[in-house]
Every structure is written in structure tokens, then in C-alpha cells.
Amino acid sequence: MRELELIAELERTLAPGGADVLRGLGDDAALVRAGAYAVTSVDTMVDGIHFRRGQLEPEEIGHRALAGALSDLAAMAVRPGQAYMALGLPQDSELRDAVALAEGAQALASELGVAIAGGDVTRALSLTVSFTVVGWTDDPGELVGRDGAKPGDLVAVTGTLGGAGAGLALLDGRARAQGTLDARAALGLRERYARPRPRLAEGVALSSLGARAMIDLSDGLATDAQHLAMRSGVRIEVSLARLPLADGVAAVAEQLETDGATFGATAGEDYELCACLPPSAERLARRDGLALSWIGRVLAGPPEVAFTDAAEPLSGYEHSL
């Protein structure tokens, strides 16, 4: 592949959108109009470790890498402005695959109003896609860290869990769809793995509901809730019976000799959000039509996450309806 040809193609593909990008690709650095505060995160995906080239289309690899990075901004409750792509290409890469990867990222970026304003292409031993993403805020008080959970808070998650892990099990051949899942559910699970959606709107909505601590579920609920517990210095109790499982997860989990809830609590890469909020948020979420699952509560105690089977209501509110 000729490097200059690739760079020219990438510059055509990653057309800098947005009036805030004064200089985009093609110079030593990008120039972008800033807000008062920058919120910045970096996320890297490597072939053979975070995905396998044979299992995903190049467009999906690009989409997924950008989505994973943007998910960190969602977890801070900030809207993304720009993204910078560092692409490491092995020697056997095809020009059209590299361009398709960029197209997949650009399609997601366009949809979300993000400008891919710069980047870097190098040779690498394995396909590596790293995105640095930047959001802007004028009020850092609206951001949500990992460290603010308080005893008495409830724990909520967006969307459904286990879908990406189940999709990967199907791609890996560790589970099979035939005879256990209808075609639509199988396709849905693959899509959850291949094209995750960063929960940007939900992150901002959770902040406005008073979320005190928040994280995106990249490593799986069990691991990620542990980060909230450690950073906030609290005990988190999660009810396995309350986990919102994606369609088909139970059937896949069974083939992996576990149950759906355990699978949903430990499988990663769903990129849903997990937040700790005061109990009053439950009513506000309902009022605003924000679909959340209330899965646990925050308690005083040594920082750890405990899973229970209890399915009783978490707060008095549900009874008072």
C-alpha cells in the first residue's frame, strides 16, 4: 500500500465537519475552537485482543473503536466535539480495508456530530485503532465522575446487558444460534458486539437526574461497578434478578454452562452506562420517559460489589404508585 495514497484517501474520507475545526488533517496538528473545559479520553483496540479481523467488517472495526472511546465521554455526561484517530496498519493491509475502517468511524461520527479532526497512520504488527476523543463543557459541575456515590443511592443501568458478549460467543463459535435462537435475535446479538452505541444522550440525561457517580460498561458490570465502589468508597449491592438481559442472552449463556444473569453481569463491551443516583431520580426518570433498569443500591461499608438474587423493590417508590 502506498502511504501517500492512503493518506490522501483518508483525508477525503474524514472530511472535517463542523465550523469549530479550523485546521484538520494534513498539517502537523489540528486547530479547533475550544470550550471553557476539555474532557478527553483515549481508547485503543488491537486485533487479536479486542477484536478479530476475520470476525468483523472493516467498517465495524472503525465504528466500534470510535464508539468505545465516545462511551467514556458518555460516562462523564459530556457531548463529544472531536475525535483523533491513530491507526496502526500491518504490512499486509489493503488500502480499501483501511479506507473502509475510516468510513465506518466517519459514519458514526457524522451521525453523532463529531468531527474526526486529525490522526496518525503508522505501520504496526497488528491492526491497532486508537481514538482520542474530546468533549467541551462550560460547567464542570455537570460532569459525573466515578467518585461521588453515596450510601442510600440507587444503581441504574441503561439498555440491556450481555448482548455484546453473547454476540461474540456466536462469532467465536463457542455458542450456536441454530436451534436455540431465532434469526432476528442472533442478528441483534451480533450487532450489539459489532456496532455498539455510545449512550451519549443517556449520560447527559442521567447527569440532569442527579447522577453522582457513573461509568460505562466496557469490562462488564462486575468489574466496572467495582471501580465505582473503590473510587466512591462505598459498598454496592446488585440484584442479579433485576439485570436487563438482551434478547437471546439466556439461550447463549446456557450453552456456555452459565445462567443469563451471571453472564450479563460479567460479559463486557455492552457500553451501557451504570450510574448511582439519589432515590428521587427514579420518579424523575419515569416522568422524563428515560428507560432505566434499577438494579441495586449503595450502602456504607468496605468498597466492594456484592451480587444478590433478591428481586424485591429497591426503594419505597414502586409501591407507592
CA distance 56 to 159: 23
Q: Does 76 bind a copy of itself (CB under 8 A)?
A: yes
CA distance 219 to 265: 10
CB contact at 8 A, 126 and 46: yes
> Looking at beta carbons only, is 32 or 170 nearer to a copy of itself?
32
Neighbour tally for 183: CB within 10 Å? 9
Reading the block at residue 270, the C-alpha cell is 455492552
In sequence order, the 6+-apart residues with CB closer than 8 A to the CB of 2 are 95
Of 240, 237, 242, nearest to 306 (Cα)? 237
Site string for a copy of itself, 172-211 (x = CB under 8 A): ----------------------------------------
In the Cβ-directed half-sphere of 227, how many Cα atoms lie within 13 Å? 16
Which residue from 16, 88, 264, 268 is in contact with a copy of itself, where contact means CB under 8 A?
Answer: 88
Q: Does 46 bind a copy of itself (CB under 8 A)?
A: yes
Which residue from 6, 86, 156, 250 is in contact with a copy of itself, where contact means CB under 8 A?
Answer: 86
Which residue from 25, 73, 108, 249 is in contact with a copy of itself, where contact means CB under 8 A?
Answer: 73
Bridge partners for 213 per DSSP? 276
What is the nearest approach in angstroms of a copy of itself to the Cβ of residue 243?
22
> Looking at beta carbons only, is 223 or 255 nearer to a copy of itself?
223
Radius of gyration from C-alpha coordinates of the chain: 20
CA distance 22 to 11: 15
Binders in 121-150 for a copy of itself, by CB under 8 A = 122-126, 128, 130, 132, 134-136, 140, 143, 145-147
> Looking at beta carbons only, is 9 or 191 nearer to a copy of itself?
9
> Looking at beta carbons only, is 136 or 240 nearer to a copy of itself?
136
Q: Does 30 bind a copy of itself (CB under 8 A)?
A: yes
Reading the block at residue 149, the C-alpha cell is 456515590
Q: Write down how long the chain is.
A: 321
Helix (H, G, I), strand (E, B) or coil at 121: strand
| Distances, alpha carbon 134 to alpha carbons 125, 145, 147, 258, in Å | 28, 16, 21, 39
Q: Does 292 bind a copy of itself (CB under 8 A)?
A: no
Binders in 200-259 for a copy of itself, by CB under 8 A = 214-216, 231
Stretch that binds a copy of itself, among 53-61, 82-90, 242-250, 306-314 (CB under 8 A): 82-90
> Looking at beta carbons only, is 142 or 318 nearer to a copy of itself?
142
Stretch that binds a copy of itself, among 37-45, 255-263, 264-272, 302-310 (CB under 8 A): 37-45
> Looking at beta carbons only, is 125 or 291 nearer to a copy of itself?
125
What is the nearest approach in angstroms of a copy of itself to the Cβ of residue 76?
5
* Cross-sheet strand order for the sheet of 304-308: 213-216, 273-277, 154-158, 292-299, 235-239, 304-308
CA distance 167 to 196: 11
Which residue from 25, 66, 109, 117 is in contact with a copy of itself, where contact means CB under 8 A?
Answer: 117
Signed CA dihedral, 140, 142, 145, 149: sign only: positive
Number of residues interacting with a copy of itself: please give it, by CB under 8 A: 60
Binding site for a copy of itself (CB under 8 A): 22-23, 26-46, 48-50, 72-73, 75-76, 78, 82, 84-86, 88, 117-120, 122-126, 128, 130, 132, 134-136, 140, 143, 145-147, 214-216, 231
